[in-house]
């Protein structure tokens, strides 16, 4: 969607964002607001979120809660963290 359409205003308000190929898009209320990836070490799984624009405290809390559910599903690591970078 982001790569194939000239008018992206229905899914993002960000202009000139970095390429997101290879990363997963993070949607907040249906708009692309960040990218995310899971990084794994020996006993730790970290969900790294890189925002294109500020995410409010309320939205951030919802993203962290969903991120924890994602890590529980996607990783059997003993420790799981959600980090905004």
Which tokens sit at 85?
């970078």
Q: Look at the chain and report how many structural domains it folds into.
A: 1
pTM: 0.77
**pLDDT grade for 83, boundaries at 50, 70 and 90:** very high
Q: Is residue 3 part of a domain?
A: no
Q: Is residue 9 part of a domain?
A: no
Q: Is residue 11 part of a domain?
A: no
Q: Is residue 2 part of a domain?
A: no
Q: Is residue 19 part of a domain?
A: no
Report the C-alpha gap between 23 and 35 in whole angstroms. Answer: 6
DSSP string, 28-58: ETTEEEEEEEEEE-SSEEEEEEEESS---HH
Q: Residue 77's domain spans which residues?
A: 24-84
Q: Is residue 35 part of a domain?
A: yes
Segment 6-65, tens digit of pLDDT: 655 666 666 655 555 567 888 888 888 899 999 998 899 999 999 988 999 999 999 999
């Amino acid at each position: 969607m982001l790569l194939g359409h000239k008018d992206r205003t229905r899914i993002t308000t960000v202009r000139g964002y970095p390429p997101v190929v290879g990363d997963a898009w993070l949607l907040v209320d249906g708009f692309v607001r960040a990218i995310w990836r899971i990084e794994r070490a020996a006993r730790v799984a970290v969900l790294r979120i890189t925002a294109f624009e500020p995410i409010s405290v309320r939205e951030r809390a919802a993203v962290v809660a969903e991120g924890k559910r994602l890590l529980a599903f996607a990783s059997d690591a003993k420790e799981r963290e959600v980090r905004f970078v």
